[in-house]
């Protein structure tokens, strides 16, 4: 079935209050899982740190150069078209991060002050949404994934304002439990502050070792849990070393295919199908979950 524009674009931000839980690798692998199924995903990472999604996919070589970038578009100072920002890796379109993201709040505040001095409105947290709409992203792409930093601020607020939905990687630990409990108040606060409704499409426990305490913690989570991913530190570290998704890492850089890693890839495929179904998208060419030999047909 071909995806039509009558169907809603799937849009979500990967978010975790706790660091080191695999938020960025989750975003990257889900993006590739959507692309493997014949959908057209756009990833907009917003993390000013060096260890970000642009680094993972190897498209961050210009982050320190005076080139056009997303921040310039968000403060209405672009040097070119939005489409010129995009790089394509593993079937995924990506807007690379730039060092100007470190000062995003200051740039937005300056533009807001100038606009208000001229009697114009300027919503600091609605600028990413404006840029995406002006670039016809909802009509061009089937999936939008934002990967903001964990800390509250303009990066996170712009991402959530643009996507309205969250996918939450969770560490199945006491620390992770606290993060989930804090998330509920965060979502309520964001809804009030941004005046938008924010939903949680899925919680994804990562690093699960099937202990009694971990099972207790998972039973307390009220959000949908489509899959529970085990301890895969070696696989994820390999992705960062080779600057690629887990799918490419297992296919091209592993000496042999390990059943537990293939199952992890299958889990990312199944999570992607779950998220697509949440908004009524039927992928045109879904693989058997984890099938690395599946023919990927570009959207």
| Orientation of helix 154-163 relative to helix 104-117, angle to 10° | 80
Average pLDDT value for residue range 179-193: 75
**82-88, long-range: CB < 8 A, 24+ apart:** 82/131, 82/134, 82/135, 83/135, 86/42, 87/57, 87/59
Residue for token pair 């995924």: 92
Q: What is the pLDDT of residues 92-122, one digit of tens each?
A: 999 999 999 999 999 999 999 999 999 999 9
108: Cα within 13 Å, side-chain hemisphere: 20
Q: What is the pLDDT of residues 18-49, one digit of tens each?
A: 667 789 999 999 999 999 999 999 999 999 88
- Strand-strand pairing, 87-89 and 92-94: antiparallel
Average pLDDT value for residue range 214-243: 90
The pLDDT, as a whole number, for residue 5 is 36
The pLDDT, as a whole number, for residue 223 is 87
The pLDDT, as a whole number, for residue 1 is 32
Reported confidence tier of residue 2, pLDDT bands at 50, 70, 90 = very low
Label residues 2-38 b or e (16+ Cβ within 10 Å = b). ebeeeeebbbbbbbbbbeebbbbbbbbbbbbbbbbbb
Q: What is the pLDDT of residues 240-254, one digit of tens each?
A: 999 999 999 999 999
Note whether 215 and 58 are within 8 A (CB): no
- Strand-strand pairing, 165-170 and 199-208: parallel
**Which two structure tokens, joined as six digits, stand for 58?**
């190897």
How far CA 201 is from CA of 11, 159, 167, 169, 191, in Å, comes to 10, 15, 6, 11, 16
**Which two structure tokens, joined as six digits, stand for 47?**
């993390």
Average pLDDT value for residue range 77-100: 97
Of 178-182, 217-221, 273-277, which one has max mean pLDDT? Answer: 273-277
Label residues 166-195 b or e (16+ Cβ within 10 Å = b). bbbbbbbbeebbebbeebeebbeebeeebe
DSSP 204: E
The pLDDT, as a whole number, for residue 259 is 94
The pLDDT, as a whole number, for residue 6 is 39
Share the mean pLDDT of the chain: 90
Average pLDDT value for residue range 70-92: 97
Cα(187)–Cα(254) distance, integer angstroms: 40
The pLDDT, as a whole number, for residue 74 is 98
User: What φ, ψ does residue 250 adopt, rounded to 5°?
Assistant: -70, -40
Of 73-82, 104-113, 182-191, 275-284, the one with minimum mean pLDDT is 182-191
| Orientation of helix 23-36 relative to helix 259-278, angle to 10° | 80
For the purposes of burial, counting CB atoms within 10 Å of the CB of 233, is it exposed (0-12), middle (13-18) or buried (19 or more)?
Answer: exposed
Does residue 84 carry a pLDDT above 90?
yes
């Amino acid at each position: 079935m071909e995806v039509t524009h009558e169907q809603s674009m799937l849009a979500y931000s990967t978010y975790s209050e706790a660091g080191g839980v695999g938020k960025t690798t989750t975003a990257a692998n889900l993006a590739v899982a959507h692309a493997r199924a014949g959908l057209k995903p756009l990833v907009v990472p917003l993390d000013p740190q060096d260890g970000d999604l642009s680094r993972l996919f190897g498209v961050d070589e210009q982050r320190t150069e005076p080139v056009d970038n997303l921040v310039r578009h968000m403060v209405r100072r672009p040097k070119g078209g939005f489409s010129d920002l995009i790089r394509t890796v593993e079937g995924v379109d990506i807007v690379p991060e730039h060092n100007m993201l470190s000062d995003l709040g200051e740039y937005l505040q300056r533009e807001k002050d100038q606009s208000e001095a001229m009697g114009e409105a300027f919503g600091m947290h609605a600028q990413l949404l404006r840029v995406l709409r002006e670039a016809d992203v909802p009509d061009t792409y089937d999936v939008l994934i934002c990967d903001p930093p964990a800390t509250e601020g303009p990066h996170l607020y712009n991402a959530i304002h643009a996507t309205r939905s969250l996918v939450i990687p969770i560490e199945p630990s006491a620390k992770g439990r606290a993060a989930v409990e804090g998330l509920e108040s965060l979502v309520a606060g964001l809804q009030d502050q941004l005046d938008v409704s924010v939903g949680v499409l899925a919680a994804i426990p990562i690093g699960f070792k099937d202990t009694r305490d971990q099972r207790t913690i998972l039973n307390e989570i009220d959000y949908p849990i489509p899959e529970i991913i085990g301890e895969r530190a070696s696989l994820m570290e390999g992705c960062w070393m080779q600057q690629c998704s887990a799918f490419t890492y297992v296919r091209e850089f592993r000496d042999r295919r390990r059943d537990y890693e293939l199952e992890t890839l299958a889990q990312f495929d199944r999570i992607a199908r779950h998220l697509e179904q949440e908004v009524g998208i039927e992928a045109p060419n879904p693989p058997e979950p984890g099938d690395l030999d599946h023919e990927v047909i570009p959207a």
